[in-house]
Amino acid sequence: MTSTPQASHSNLAKRAFHRLSIRQKIVVGYAVALGIAILGTIAGLEIGNRYYQKARYQMIMADEEGGLLSELQGAFLEIQSHQQEIVPLLKQPQILQAENSKLLIHVTETEKLLERLQEFSQTNSQKDLHAFLEKHEMTVTEYFQQFKLLLQQLVSNGKLQEESEARSLIWQFYQNPAAIRFNEFIHELTKFTILVQEHQEQADVAQNQAATLQAQIIIGSILFSTALATVLALYTSRTIAHPIKAVTAVAKQVTKEANFDLQVPVITKDEVGELAISLNQLIQQVKKLLDEQQAETQARLIQSEKMISLGKMLAGVAHEIINPVNFISGNLVHAKNYTDDILTLLKTYKTEIPNPPISVQLLAEEIDLEFLEVDLQKLLSSIEFGADRTREIAISLKDFSRLDEGEIQFVDIHVCLNSTLVILQNRLKKGINIVRNYGDVPHIPGYPGLLYQVFMNLLSNAIDALEEKTKDNPHFLPEITITTELGDLNLVFVRIGDNGSGISLENQSKIFETFFTTKPRGIGTGLGLAITYQIVVEKHGGKITCKSELDKGTEFTVFLPMNSK
Q: What is the pLDDT of residues 30-65, one digit of tens each?
A: 677 677 667 766 776 777 677 777 777 777 777 777
Q: Say if 307 falls within a structural domain.
A: yes
* Domain limit, last residue, from 354, 383, 404: 404
What's the average model confidence in pLDDT over 13-36? 67
* Cα-based distances in Å from 169 to 101, 150, 241, 439: 18, 7, 103, 157
| Range with the poorest average pLDDT among 39-43, 131-135, 247-251, 294-298 | 294-298
Give the model's pLDDT for residue 161. Answer: 58
* Amino acid, single-letter form, for residue 454: V
209/95 same-domain check: yes
Q: What is the largest CA-CA distance in the chain?
A: 213
186/304 same-domain check: no
Q: Say if 317 falls within a structural domain.
A: yes
DSSP character at residue 341: H
Give the model's pLDDT for residue 404. Answer: 46
Q: Say if 283 falls within a structural domain.
A: no
432/456 same-domain check: yes
DSSP character at residue 91: G
549/448 same-domain check: yes
* Amino acid, single-letter form, for residue 527: L
What's the average model confidence in pLDDT over 311-318? 61
Higher pLDDT, 415 or 360: 415
What's the average model confidence in pLDDT over 69-76? 74
Phi and psi, residue 433, nearest 5°: -85, 130
Q: Please report which confidence band the pLDDT of residue 268 belongs to, taking 50, 70 and 90 as the band edges.
A: low
Whether 399 contacts 376, CB under 8 Å: no
Q: Say if 275 falls within a structural domain.
A: no
217/350 same-domain check: no
363/412 same-domain check: no
Q: Please report which confidence band the pLDDT of residue 484 belongs to, taking 50, 70 and 90 as the band edges.
A: very high
> Beta strands of 366-511 (E only): which ranges?
409-411, 433-437, 444-446, 479-486, 491-498
Tens of pLDDT, residue by residue over 221-244, are: 777 777 776 777 677 777 667 777
Q: Which H or E run includes 116?
A: helix 93-123
Give the model's pLDDT for residue 326. Answer: 73
| Chain-centroid distance, C-alpha 123 | 64
Give the model's pLDDT for residue 547. Answer: 92
14-28, 254-268, 401-415, 426-440 — which one is most confidently predicted on average? 426-440
In the predicted structure, residue 201 carries a pLDDT above the cut 90? no
Query: What is the side-by-side order of every strand in the sheet holding 553-561?
Result: 433-437, 479-486, 491-498, 553-561, 543-549
Give the model's pLDDT for residue 555. Answer: 94
What residues contact residue 106 under an 8 Å CB cut-off, 6+ apart?
Answer: 75, 78, 79, 82
Residues comprising the chain, all counted: 565
Q: Is the pTM of this model over 0.85?
A: no
* Cα-based distances in Å from 361 to 133, 315, 470: 171, 53, 55
475/372 same-domain check: no
R_g of the chain, CA atoms, integer Å: 63
- Host domain of residue 538: 407-565
Tens of pLDDT, residue by residue over 119-129, are: 777 777 677 77
Higher pLDDT, 7 or 375: 375
Tens of pLDDT, residue by residue over 78-111, are: 776 666 666 666 666 666 667 667 777 777 777 7
Higher pLDDT, 498 or 91: 498
381/509 same-domain check: no
* Domain limit, last residue, from 237, 266, 285: 237
Q: Say if 278 falls within a structural domain.
A: no
Q: How far apart are CA 222 and CA 220, in angstroms?
A: 5
Q: How far apart are CA 511 and CA 526, in angstroms?
A: 8
Give the model's pLDDT for residue 342. Answer: 83
Average pLDDT, the chain: 76
- The total number of structural domains that make up the chain: 3
476/397 same-domain check: no
Tens of pLDDT, residue by residue over 348-390, are: 888 888 888 888 778 878 887 778 777 777 777 777 767 776 7
On the CB side of 288, CA atoms within 13 Å amount to 6
398/417 same-domain check: no
In the predicted structure, residue 293 carries a pLDDT above the cut 70? no
Give the model's pLDDT for residue 55. Answer: 72
Give the model's pLDDT for residue 44. Answer: 65
154/228 same-domain check: yes
Higher pLDDT, 330 or 314: 330
| Range with the poorest average pLDDT among 158-162, 500-504, 510-514 | 158-162
Q: Say if 74 falls within a structural domain.
A: yes
Whether 505 contacts 547, CB under 8 Å: no
Higher pLDDT, 310 or 256: 256
Whether 154 contacts 96, CB under 8 Å: yes
What residues contact residue 236 under an 8 Å CB cut-off, 6+ apart?
Answer: 25, 26, 29
423/510 same-domain check: yes
SS3 524: strand
| Domain harbouring 558, CATH code | 3.30.565.10
* Cα-based distances in Å from 392 to 145, 242, 307: 154, 75, 21
Q: Say if 391 falls within a structural domain.
A: yes
Q: Say if 284 falls within a structural domain.
A: no
> CA torsion 437→438→444→450, rounded to 10°?
60
* Domain limit, last residue, from 349, 382, 404: 404
Higher pLDDT, 547 or 285: 547
DSSP character at residue 521: B
SS3 209: helix
